[in-house]
Structure 1
Amino acid sequence: MNDTPETQATTTVFEQIGGEAAVEAVVAIFYGKVTDDPALAGYFEGIDMDRLKTHQARFVGQALGASRPYSGRSMRKAHADLAITSPDFDRVVGHLAASLTEAGVDAETIGVIAGALAPLKDEIVTA
């Protein structure tokens, strides 16, 4: 596909990074990092990780412009009982950026993704 100004204007970030397969790959890398992080691993004890990965991929996909809808709980409801701290949220964001970089996403696109997800901090941090 030629990247003319017209196609760039109509291409979503979701499409730019490679669509559903790319988002699923990033989510897999991401959860490997957060579950290996001793400061974050406790948040995932007893969690069905396959189910969580599916929900996360759909959520991130929708946030980036995918047409498949996200039908899970709101971020506030999904994280309400987890007592997530601001430093832990920031650690998760760092792991996401590292996962995107590892998957070959360029820095500018990572910035766009971070900008789309950053407003969720107020809904996720509860401690």
Structure 2
Amino acid sequence: MSEDAMSAFDSVGGAPAVRAAVDELYVRLRDDPVLSEYFVDLDMARLKAHQRAFIAAAIGGPEVYSGSDMAAAHRGLGITDQDFDAVTRHLVDTLAGLGAPTSVLARIGGRLAALRPDVVTAPTPPTALGA
């Protein structure tokens, strides 16, 4: 693991900070009136563990994400581009609120952007296209 990657993980406070970020993220997501429906009746402990591993791996931490691939994990959920963007905003806002440096926010944003084709499965509603 490169020194640069470890410094990103360390710069946010390591595993305790990632845990706090994930806990806060899911409070935000479950409080969001549009996104909350995606989190009803889920095993939140399992979901949080996967999210912690994903975030830690994305910023160079020692955890390795070993859950389902993103397409399989999100298949059939009907996630729109707007939903994806809202989750991304919540995550970035959560990390920023916990003092994550801009470089870490950019790294997470880049990793998330690359996942969009695997996560977004619902077409953009016509009203969002200006029709």
Structure 2 Cα separation of the partners of residues 67 and 76 of structure 1: 24
Structure 2 Cα separation of the partners of residues 33 and 51 of structure 1: 17
Indicate whether 1:78 and 2:73 are aligned: yes
Query: How many percent of aligned residue pairs carry the same amino acid?
Result: 40
Q: Is the 8 A contact 2:11 2:101 kept in 1?
A: no
Task: Please name the residue that 2:101 is paired with.
Answer: 106
The alpha carbon displacement at 1:80 in A equals: 0.6
Task: Please name the residue that 1:17 is paired with.
Answer: 12
Return the TM-score normalized by structure 1: 0.87
Matches within 5 A, 1:35-46: 35-46=30-41
Structure 1 Cα separation of the partners of residues 55 and 70 of structure 2: 12
Structure 1 Cα separation of the partners of residues 97 and 79 of structure 2: 25
Runs of 4+ displaced beyond 2 Å: 7-12, 106-109
Identify if the C-alpha distance between structure 1 residues 40 and 66 changes in structure 2 by more than 3 Å, giving closer, same or farther. Answer: same
- Cα deviation per residue 1:51-102 (whole Å; 9 max; x = unaligned)? 1111110111112112222211011110012110000100111111110111
Indicate whether 1:95 and 2:79 are aligned: no
Select 1:26's aligned residue among 10, 21, 27.
21
Structure 2 Cα separation of the partners of residues 86 and 14 of structure 1: 28
SS in 2 for 1:76: helix
Mind listing any 5+ residue stretches in structure 1 that lack a counterpart? 1-6
Indicate whether 1:116 and 2:122 are aligned: no
Structure 1 Cα separation of the partners of residues 71 and 108 of structure 2: 19
Amino acid at match of 1:104: G
Identify if the C-alpha distance between structure 1 residues 84 and 66 changes in structure 2 by more than 3 Å, giving closer, same or farther. Answer: same
Structure 1 Cα separation of the partners of residues 53 and 103 of structure 2: 22
The alpha carbon displacement at 1:8 in A equals: 6.0
SS in 2 for 1:11: helix
Return the TM-score normalized by structure 2: 0.84
Aligned residues: 121
